[in-house]
Structure 1
Amino acid sequence: MILRLRPALLAGAALAAAGLLLAPGRTAEASTMGGDSSGAMPSASAPSYDPAEEYVKGVAALNASQYKDAERALSRVTRATPDNAEAWRMLGMANAGQSNLKGARKAYEKAVKLQPDSIEAHQGLGVALAGLKDPAAKAQLDWLAAKAAACAGTCADAEALKKASAAVEGALAAAGGPSAALEPGSLLFAAPQAGDQAYAAAVGLINQRRYDDALAALAKARLAFGPHPDVLTYQGYAWRKKGDEARAEGYYRQALAIAPRHRGALEYYGELKVERGDLAGARRMLARLDRACSFGCAEAEELRRWIDAGRDPRA
């Protein structure tokens, strides 16, 4: 299958300053995000938040050492997208910055469970446990030591492993509190412009079928933008092309949980169902697309073509 991606539409200056991505340009592999409105009266609905916007607010608050504000925003993100490891890790940092080590431990434990290879999450958990005088901190140091031994000072993570081990060792030695986890410069997260650049690079890499490299670029974009449905949809697409349909489905579901009318996620999830032979499921995605596209849209027409063909386009 020949990909026909056009370059993504990057955020304008005002949106970039606010940390919001514009939806990618429509191609065979990308789509815009449609709005959604339930029509519920205010008295019948709880306050709702855009988790991508709240993530950016949380990152900005962390960078400004405004830990309570960061905790508030990132808590909203984790409630809306409980599988977002980055948000849990940063929530741990926000709690640690307020010397709430129990809250930090809980958040870091979630981050480690969701992203077992995250050096930063293991570091944060180890420091929080040490501050609580919990002997389990030693297990985090042992994990870091084992990774460092396997790395032997030659891998890309060598410096990060060295710093993480030193942070946990320092916290254990001093029974130290959160300071080791919040060393100067540790909170300088990716700016929106860097996220846009990573996102655009991922689009180009997908076009070249370099899916591993695309996923690495999308991970950088997620650090800047959090659980943005456009980024999640591309992550799902890349994993699908790598043959991991279960993982792809997880990303599509995350995107649709945030934006139920996201046209790209609906289309690609429908295509995945066609590939699995689930034409009834694909038609349900098409019905949702038709409702989202009152006057028709390319995403619905593309999925309709897949359903009519009833075949596996990878063949």
Structure 2
Amino acid sequence: MSPTLKAVLSVAAAAALVSISVGSRALASGGGGGGGGFEAPSASAPQYDPAAEYAKAVAALNAKQYRDAARAAQHVTDAVPKSPDAWRLLGAAKAGDNDWKGSRRAYERAVKLAPDAAVAHAGLGLALANLKDPKAQAEIDWLKAKAQACGDSCPDAASLKGMVSALEAAQQGARPSAALSGSMLFGGPKAGDAAYVQAVSLINEGRYDDALASLAKAQAAFGPHPDILTYEGYAWRKKGELDKAERYYRAALAIAPDHVGATEYYGELKVVRGDLDGARKLLARLDQVCAFGCADAEELRRWIALGHEPPR
């Protein structure tokens, strides 16, 4: 794999994702020998995959069509049950439909999967408050502690304070405020593409923690998209977190078994771990997918021949 991933940016007036108009596109090299590229998530998601259902749910949520949003979000949680963003989206849709028990269950799953996600705690707190459950106070206390640790100068300071105020009002029987409702709406394709492009740039610079933060924003917009999952796996591998990297590669391939980038990267991870037989199996898969050859397969072949990452 090359020491940097090359990002090639192009602009399109509109790209269709399940009839949703989107803005910019981003293409990022699949790494390795500079072969196949990933399109921006809004442009490349298959029509009926979890990312497309996620986008459909976001559009319905923002249009206040809450039952349609919940139906599409449920498709995502069924397909990718370990995606905290999917459960958060389902929780927001259920809340919009005043199904507070359903919202609570969804947000409980989101919090379990991503225990440090403030928006998930806020959503759970809102559901509990509307159910008159005293456990809502624990979520308020969690958000207050998060806000205190964050301080006034951190980027999330205003959002955290708004969540606390909104939950305290909900405890008193008030309708959810604009601050809380706004924090739970999802950014949509334009914001997601921008975050994705930024993440690729940050990966190029070796800023893997910042890249992971940007990829998380992209994932909040698009849901479990294989391109995003693949880059998350790559960033974790560069940080030395090989088990986490493998989980992301496997998640990407579960959604898109023929994903060239995820297959190559996963093969390279196998080489790093000394599992050359496993790497060869993935190379054989790449050779099938790339019927006329591709740079990704050739790069993985180099790794296997050397038994380690090629020198640069």
- Root-mean-square deviation over aligned CA pairs: 2.6
Partner of 2:263: 266
- Cα distance in 2 for partners of 1:185, 1:133 equals 22
**Could you list the per-position Cα deviations for residues 208-258 of structure 1 after superposition, in whole angstroms to 9, with x for gaps in the alignment?**
211122212212221222211111111110111011111111111111011
Gaps in structure 2 of 5+ consecutive residues: 40-46
Deviating more after overlay: 123-132 vs 215-224? 215-224
1:3 CA drift (Å): 2.1
More strand by share: 2
Partner of 2:215: 218
**Are the counterparts in 2 of residues 108 and 124 from structure 1 also a CA contact under 8 Å?**
yes
- One-letter amino acid of the counterpart of residue 86, structure 1: D
Partner of 1:288: 285
**Are the counterparts in 2 of residues 93 and 182 from structure 1 also a CA contact under 8 Å?**
no
- Cα distance in 1 for partners of 2:181, 2:211 equals 30
Partner of 1:39: none
**Are the counterparts in 2 of residues 59 and 70 from structure 1 also a CA contact under 8 Å?**
yes
Helix, strand or coil for the counterpart of 1:141? helix
**Correspondence 1:304 to 2:304:** no
Partner of 2:84: 85
Structure 1 pair 298–110 and aligned structure 2 pair: CA distance change class (3 A):
same
- One-letter amino acid of the counterpart of residue 289, structure 2: A
| Aligned positions of 1:32-181 closer than 5 A | 32=37, 49-174=48-173, 179-180=176-177
Deviating more after overlay: 286-295 vs 272-281? 286-295
Partner of 2:5: 5
1:113 CA drift (Å): 1.0
Deviating more after overlay: 269-278 vs 198-207? 198-207
Structure 1 pair 223–60 and aligned structure 2 pair: CA distance change class (3 A):
same
**Could you list the per-position Cα deviations for residues 4-57 of structure 1 after superposition, in whole angstroms to 9, with x for gaps in the alignment?**
4322455742336455967644543774469xxxxxxxxxxxxx9311111111
Structure 1 pair 154–186 and aligned structure 2 pair: CA distance change class (3 A):
closer
Deviating more after overlay: 145-154 vs 130-139? 145-154
1:160 CA drift (Å): 1.6
- Cα distance in 2 for partners of 1:126, 1:26 equals 40
**How high is the sequence identity, in percent, across the aligned residues?**
57
TM-score normalised by length of structure 2: 0.87
Partner of 1:41: none
Structure 1 pair 10–232 and aligned structure 2 pair: CA distance change class (3 A):
farther
Gaps in structure 1 of 5+ consecutive residues: 35-47
- One-letter amino acid of the counterpart of residue 296, structure 2: E
- Cα distance in 1 for partners of 2:191, 2:160 equals 24
Partner of 1:15: 16
- Cα distance in 2 for partners of 1:216, 1:33 equals 19
- Cα distance in 2 for partners of 1:182, 1:70 equals 21
- Cα distance in 2 for partners of 1:239, 1:288 equals 23
Structure 1 pair 30–125 and aligned structure 2 pair: CA distance change class (3 A):
farther
- Cα distance in 2 for partners of 1:22, 1:201 equals 10
TM-score normalised by length of structure 1: 0.86
- Cα distance in 2 for partners of 1:172, 1:30 equals 55
